[in-house]
Structure 1
């Protein structure tokens, strides 16, 4: 088996921006991957498995010439054990192409046919010199007249720069390990444009996709230029869903927390103020996309062009079949029956977190008046949400003003954004748990966030590791994908593709919530480590930061004695939050006071022992 080879090119990527085209040189890498397995089907017909899907092409080099044409089939999905599915689904990729001949000792790539939807319009375009590429794992070669041994066959994978050794995770749970590996690969493989795009169907950046992509990317690699580039793209290239726009501030704030770089916040501060949609605020402190303040002038200020689609609330995707016309396995779609009223809970939960984060951003920039303004607005909005959307009789949130319906979404977003008063957390989390996975792979990001932040780690980890049915991440592996899928299954979204980074919520949840490793202060000068690992007996992890890598291990022996080991990089201090049920704690072999809840870990190695 040959080793992988990496070639780096400076490729001129033509980016479609509001019908205008701007050139930017983006450094992409091409990795040549040898087959994991080659199987002879019959004379001249071979089946090749490269192990994982990548966006790319097939590269060939032969020591013997062949004059006769060869047929190649490339695909993501199998029909049977050694047969590529030639009708895999609307956006699951398959192509059959012909190569007229093979020249001796000449490097050749097959000529793939581009898909119109992801190579025109607002799609992020690849350089013409690269040619068309598709995501594929499998290859079939037919009519091969020369010995297979004479042919060097490689998967020519295209991706952005990525350090495979920057991170790792392993544990006593094989499902967690498998999902981590698949989703880390997803982050690398879907980077093929140099932007966070939605997947292969459109190859367009969308804010909601990009936010989850960013959290997962920053959790496994200390490479931030692609996130920065994507964030800047959204300033002038917003998308139409109300809540998608409301992810913009979240992305800029996350970048600052991970990098400590204020420049993007300084440069785009005024644009970020607009992206909060505070211009749509009514006298009650709540916003509505139906507001008369949503004028053509405001749309233009937000980055839309004349004639663009008006913004509207989306809640989750896809909506029901009455909206799409699709025949869905769940006719209600992924909204859990959410009633989209003019002034609704999810949109205003997003508005609140935007105000809260903008207050922090303004404070960091020394804009004290603005910081106070946003802080006061957040207080007013939080009160309005709890006064107008919370049903005290049922102990849960309704979908909005005028609605009596309570959905998963109306409750999980307030929980994720710290809107739920302490006295109501129990009833809200109980309701959320009663709904199960009644949201999309996108919505699951916020479902997991809310659960982990509110002492429901066992349930949240159970959702991640669930292997029953098809509304879970394990189903993505079960059906044969090697990347996160756009939906739980194609039957839940008939035009779904098999390469959507917005499906990687468990990846960043493992780092940010199970292990609880996050930046407490900008640039990771101070890290927070709040582990919630109760259902594991062993795990180790490497988390990259802009300062250096955090290394950690956790082990429970048969006597329920627990050992944590940490290595904190130079220039960082970490705060370890002692689990509430952790007893008889010693820190670096020194017994600590039972009332102590936080341990300060300076740069270097540390051990923490205790028992459950």
Structure 2
């Protein structure tokens, strides 16, 4: 039987700004975390649980010398015997390190063995002063001949500067609260390179990963340097999936809306136009990655180093089994059977969204001719998609031109990007609701966005808080992860890792759509607050902005909803009243409103809503 040892929890955060890859503004910190639990698992062997996984190493300090060797095991996952899993599968991490002795009154740092793939090539490299790190939650110390009480053991965690106090969330749904905390910790812990990377297996920025990471990061902290650094990285370092390239404009747009700083848009405007891939348009306006215009000249313009780079459509990851060679849980991978044809619905939905955002970017930069240019293009694409890619008999979208198949992806993307005409929103959402979570953790971002935008808040909340299926965030918690996974489970992606920030959709969705708190005017000069709290009976949230923190609370009793919202100085806000309510009190006084909107100045506001 295990012997548990009572300990004092100590967490120390220390220093330091570090230059990396000639970038001087990366603000990496080291936090020293004590174990939350120490167990004696056998004679001379102890298991230390630090509570959460971080990227780092272990630091030891002993009051007594041990001349015999110690064996240190580090890992993210436990096995059925409650020991660190020596063969965890996928890209879940484990290491065995031999420490030849332990000297008294000397700080000893465990030297982690570097992984060749994530410490070379295109991987973002850490400065020499930090050294090699790996993700781990657990540490086993084997062959310890001195009393465990005589040593201090710290998880020496590396992460970017992060303000823990800037954000918080709680609600009447304990599952939702746990998932929110899982996602927030993921954002902090995966920041250890100072860039938005995909995960530990590669440590490379990819646009789709980075966009979800950015939305979640900006929802819990107002330190925007890492996002902006990553955005700039993609200008010269694009990645090859078509849909990934089409995340570049949304990333730059999101940054401007949160920061209010036009300089990145000014500096990279021409490149952003390229990244819309409008060069691939055919006569009717739709685009295809198999277009003859996808030539060496365009590849180089887009920023690729090799002119023979092949750009292709992925439609969620992992793709079908025939494309990967893996033994996947489902033969179609995460595509919901999506039929990839040369002119397909997902890619052109992304293209439409890029054109809509570029019209706004051009307006920000006072490029009037370009505003009209992009608006006209967007209108054309919307019309063509709804003419050629929509099945009027079914009432929802096909996967692409000449396809007869309809998937979740081919419908959730048009819904998320505002392509669906009002008269077809019900039939499209009805179809979507028959598919469940038939997408990856990445695709869930757009599924949830589309559902909230079309008034399906309860179904969206049910998907987020699902506990019966392994295609859920709760499954990540149940199997022992403390960061979001790259895939719902290893069986859905055999090489997946346990530290992928693109799995944090519930974090930004909770802020931006469930509570509906987003910048309406760039730089959060005006905030939009449009709550869709479904069957929650209470909730509290803190949302950081560049101007201060928005704090809000909600309570429901019978047919009345109560809100208390504090708006920081130098800000105003527009609160959208759900249309089911007709009786409205603002700061205790009955009010009549237009466009379902109550306007807030800075300060504390109370709203009481009755049907």
Match of 1:18 in 2: none
Task: Tell me which residue corresponds to 1:320.
Answer: 320
Paired residue total: 604
Give 2:64's aligned residue.
64
Q: Which residue of 1 is the match for residue 302 of structure 2?
A: 302
- Structure 1, residues 109-140: CA drift from partner, whole Å, max 9, x if none? 11111111111110001122322111000110
Displacement of 1:561 in angstroms is 2.5
Query: Structure 1 CA distance, aligned partners of 2:597 and 2:192?
Result: 42
Aligned to 1:565: 564
Tell me whether 83-92 or 73-82 shows the greater mean CA deviation: 73-82
Q: Secondary structure at the match of 1:434?
A: coil
| Match runs of 1:583-602 below 5 Å | 583-593=582-592, 597-602=596-601
1:236-289, CA deviations, whole angstroms, 9 ceiling, x for partnerless residues? Answer: 000000010000000000000001000000010011010000111111011111
Alpha-carbon shift at residue 295 of structure 1 (Å): 1.2
Q: Distance in 2 between matches of 1:279 and 1:324?
A: 29
What SS does the aligned partner of 2:210 have?
A: helix
Query: For the Cα contact (< 8 Å) 2:299–2:307, is it kept in 1?
Result: no
Q: Is the 8 A contact 2:39 2:48 kept in 1?
A: yes
Once the two structures are superposed, residues 582-609 of structure 1 have per-residue CA deviations (whole angstroms, 9 ceiling, x without a partner) of 2421111111227661000110001001
Inter-partner Cα distance in structure 1 for 2:481 and 2:168:
21
Q: 1:271 matched to which residue of 2?
A: 271
**How does 1:328-477 map onto structure 2 within 5 Å?**
328-477=328-477
Query: Which residue is 1:6 aligned to?
Result: 13
CA contact (8 A) 2:561 2:609 kept: yes
2-structure distance, mates of 1:524, 1:221 = 14
Correspondence 1:610 to 2:606: no
How far apart, in 2, do the equivalents of 1:492 and 1:93 lie? Answer: 18
CA distance in 2, matches of 1:121, 1:409: 33
> What are the within-5 Å matches in structure 2 for residues 71-110 of structure 1?
71-80=71-80, 82-110=82-110
Say yes or no: does 1:487 pair with 2:487: yes
User: Which residue of the partner structure matches residue 139 of structure 2?
Assistant: 139
Deviation at 1:581, TM superposition (A): 1.3
In 2, the alpha carbon distance for the partners of 1:308 and 1:83 equals 48
Aligned counterpart, 1:19: none
Q: 2: distance between equivalents of 1:610 and 1:357?
A: 34
Hey, what's the Cα distance between the residues in 2 that align with 1:41 and 1:593? 67
Is the partner of 2:60 in helix, strand or coil? strand
1:353 & 1:258 partners in 2: Cα distance?
Answer: 19
SS in 2 for 1:349: helix
User: Any unmatched runs of 5+ in structure 2?
Assistant: 1-7
Using the alignment, how far apart are the partners of 1:342 and 1:219 within structure 2? 36
Structure 2 CA distance, aligned partners of 1:596 and 1:420?
22
Post-superposition CA distance 1:273-328 (Å, at most 9, x none): 10000111111011111111111011000000125531100110001111111011
Task: For residues 173-230 of structure 1, give each alpha carbon's deviation from its aligned partner in whole angstroms, at most 9, with x where no partner exists.
Answer: 0011000111000000000000000000100000000000000000000010000000
- What is the SS of the residue equivalent to 1:159? strand
Question: What TM-score results when the alignment is normalised by the length of structure 2?
Answer: 0.97
Q: Secondary structure at the match of 1:544?
A: strand
Q: 1:336 touches 1:409 (CA, 8 Å); kept in 2?
A: yes
Contact kept, 8 Å, 1:236 with 1:303, in 2: the verdict is yes
Structure 1 counterpart SS, 2:20:
strand
Equivalent position of 2:37 in the other structure: 37
Corresponding residue number in structure 1 for 2:4: none
CA displacement at 1:435 relative to structure 2: 0.8
**Deviations 1:451-504 (CA, angstroms, capped at 9, x unpaired):** 000100010011001101201111000111000000000000000000000000
Task: Render the CA deviation track for 1:160-179: whole Å, top value 9, x for unaligned.
Answer: 00000000000000011000
Determine the structure 2 residue equivalent to 1:577: 576
**Shift of residue 3, structure 1, vs aligned partner:** 2.5
> Tell me, what secondary structure is at the counterpart of 2:141?
strand
Deviations 1:331-360 (A, max 9, x none): 110011111111111110011010110010
Cα displacement string for residues 403-433 of structure 1 (whole angstroms, at most 9, x for unaligned residues):
1111111110000000000011010000011
Q: Which runs of 4+ in 1 moved over 3 A?
A: 22-25
- Partners of 1:584 and 1:594 within 8 A in 2: no
Distance in 2, Cα, partners of 1:595 & 1:255: 31
Q: Secondary structure at the match of 1:154?
A: strand
For 1:26 and 1:60, locate their aligned partners in 2 and report how far apart those are by CA, in whole Å.
27
Q: Could you say which residue in structure 2 is the equivalent of 1:17?
A: none
Post-superposition offset of 1:66: 1.1
Q: Does 1:51 align with 2:58?
A: no
1:532 maps onto 2:532 in alignment: yes
Asked if structure 2 preserves the Cα contact closer than 8 Å seen for 1:76 and 1:93, the reply is yes
Distance in 2 (CA, whole Å) between partners of 1:273 and 1:518 is: 25
Gaps of 5+ in 1: 15-21
Label 1:308 to 1:195 Cα distance change in 2 as closer, same or farther (>3 A).
farther
Distance between the aligned counterparts of 2:167 and 2:490, measured in 1? 31
Name the structure 2 match of 1:112: 112
Give the whole-Å Cα distance in 2 for the aligned partners of 1:594 and 1:220.
Answer: 31
- Matched residues in 1 for 2:581 and 2:105: separation? 65
Cα distance in structure 2, aligned partners of 1:304 and 1:596? 47
Q: Structure 1 length normalisation: TM-score?
A: 0.97
Name the CA distance, whole Å, in 2 between partners of 1:2 and 1:499.
Answer: 24
Distance 1:549 1:332, change over 3 A: same
